[in-house]
Chains A and B, each alone.
Chain A
Amino acid sequence: MVKFFASVRACFLLCLFLGVLHIVMLAGLVTRFGETMPQVVKGEGALAVMFGDARETISRAFVHKADSYYHGGVDIDCHHLSDRTHHDHGVNHDHEGCDHHDHDCNCHHDDHDSDHEEHGDAHDDDHDDDHEEVVAFSDDPWRWINVHVCAPEIHKHLDGAKSVELMPWLWASVKASPHNIDAWTTAWHIANNSMNNKKLALNVIDEGLKHNPDDPELLLCRGRTFYDRGRGDVTAARAAFLVALESADRVLKRDGDKGEERIKWVRKFAQTYLDEIAKKGNGLLDVLE
């Protein structure tokens, strides 16, 4: 018995020693090479140091989970089992990752949102029509069971107040990697467009800007919330779009030809919004005159 406890104590002391050694080595490495380490996720705090780039992957996994919640719990990895073709039938919805929401958030002008919603309805109808099973039990019984248990016969999107169910996963995503801009903009899209909760949308963007100061995409989203399809605070929106435009210009100037496509896109849309505000402003002046 004494031998047993002695060996347990020895193991414990060895683990303790290795743990301390590990922490000291990590701290030393971070202090010495912190600036030059090729980390995608910038290291702030112990969690960042511990998980490093893995946080980016974890963060993307949470966004993927939010995407599956958006589709009523249907995971795209599971849905392909049924060989249904409705994801490819001419609707430009990319369900990989959460590009779908990015698509909504990034590529749609406010005035086009209603079109998109109508388009989305048609899309849903198509889903319902196209649900014909192609997997037969005799072909592959395991696949047949999986299709029926895992891939549902229905296709629905969470909208309105129910969209709040996506928020915990997006929150977890930005906690894992605060520099995952897709996660911030998706959370903003859900709050602003699906839940129609402008206060929550601004909370999301403000929090995002704390971690990513001057990010052009977040600034553009902030402007869009203020603008509210021309019904909101146009002056605040204009100021936000100007800041977004300046920020995008700065980033593009810094990166040169290697500038990200999304930043070019932000710049273009900030400019479009500013032109639209200017046009509406002139129209108002014409009316007053």
Chain B
Amino acid sequence: MKLFARQTCALVKLSFIELWRRNDIFALLLLGLALMVPLSMATPFGAGGASRYLDEMALLLVWGFSLFIALGAGQRLFPPEFDSRTIYPLLAKPISRGRLLVGKYIGAVAASWSALAFFYVLFVGSVVLRGGSFAAELPQAIVLHFAFVALAVAISLFGSLLVTASANLSLSAIVLVGMFFFGRNLPEYAEGLNPALAWALKIVYAVAPHAEFFDMRQRLIHGWGAVDYGVFMTVLIYAVWYIFVVILLADVVLNRKRV
């Protein structure tokens, strides 16, 4: 157990260093500032005092950036190791493939969470600077967003073991963004289709990752209040279960993979 913790810590440290050394976060931050600063100066029709649109745009950017970082972090875990053949010394040490997978996954999640925490600190800071405040929904929104990031890393990691980098990033982004925006309406879309397509859509609805469960942006922006804790826990259990299944599948693929 102690050995596992030490190995995991080493992998987490590596992931951290890699993510922050790449300067992706700072590039995204600059992009965000370039978008947000002109927006914050706008006075539509000469009327000042509106702030919710700024929160909305800032949260949309935080979600977009976090997805970008999570998918990238998941993708970079194994393929570079295979390409540069550094996987051999890693596996030569007394470490199983399963442990390597879990350790690397935890490292990537921790690194992505650190980036997300950084974005949230900036977001909350900007809201407080504008004289705003948040109620009970903020911690819930952050926790669910963290869960979403962990899910996105798992999906990207699984995809990286199956297809090429560009295909994996494209497919993962399409699935997650598609479910984020249209997932909740899939049963309605299925109603108007022929039976075969309707069944296909229902299967997608049943098994695809429901990214929209984690989206509490509107609650946060409009101050609806916290989600019922039963629902909150159900979403977290869903995330943990989904991640477990995806990592298990990734483990099967990695164990069958010839390196």
Contacts and interface: CB of A to CB of B under 8 A. Distances in A.
Interface of A: 69, 72-75, 77-78, 80-81, 140-143, 145-146, 148-150, 152, 154, 161, 164-165, 167-172, 187, 191, 195, 197, 200, 203-204, 207
Interface string B82-109: 0000000000000000000000000000
Contacts of B187: 140, 143
Contact of B210 (A145, A148, A165, A171): A145
A255 B102 CA distance: 70
A139 to B, nearest CB: 11
23 contacts: A73-B219, A73-B224, A78-B184, A141-B234, A142-B210, A142-B213, A145-B235, A146-B184, A146-B210, A148-B231, A149-B219, A149-B235, A150-B184, A164-B50, A165-B50, A165-B51, A168-B42, A168-B53, A170-B44, A171-B45, A191-B47, A195-B47, A203-B45
A178 B112 CA distance: 42
Given A145-B231, A148-B227, A149-B215, A165 B53 contact: yes
A200 B46 contact: yes
Contact of B52 (A77, A148, A165): A165
B52 A204 contact: no
Contacts of B219: 73, 149, 152
Contacts of B234: 141, 145
Interface string B202-246: 000110001011011011011010011001001100100000000
B49 A164 contact: yes
B180 to A, nearest CB: 11
A149 B224 contact: no
B185 interface: yes
A74 B235 CA distance: 21
B127 to A, nearest CB: 14
Given A145-B210, A168-B42, A168-B53, A73 B47 contact: no
Contacts of A161: 49
Given A169-B53, A171-B42, 9 more contacts: A74-B218, A78-B184, A148-B228, A149-B235, A164-B49, A165-B52, A167-B44, A168-B53, A200-B45
Nearest to B54: A168
Interface of B: 42, 44-53, 184-185, 187-188, 205-206, 210, 212-213, 215-216, 218-219, 221-222, 224, 227-228, 231, 234-235, 238
Q: List 10 A-B pairs, minimum CB-CB distance, nearest first.
A: A73-B222, A171-B44, A168-B53, A148-B231, A73-B218, A167-B44, A146-B184, A152-B224, A165-B52, A168-B44
A67 B228 CA distance: 26
A191 B227 CA distance: 33
Contacts of A143: 184, 187
A77 B210 contact: no
B40 to A, nearest CB: 11
B229 to A, nearest CB: 11
Contacts of A146: 184, 210, 212-213
B47 A167 contact: yes
Given A73-B222, A143-B187, A197 B205 contact: no
A232 to B, nearest CB: 20
Contacts of A204: 45
B45 A72 contact: no
Contacts of A77: 185
Contacts of B222: 69, 72-73
Nearest to A152: B224
A130 to B, nearest CB: 18
Nearest to A195: B47
A80 B184 CA distance: 11
Contacts of B48: 164
Contacts of A203: 45-46
B93 to A, nearest CB: 34
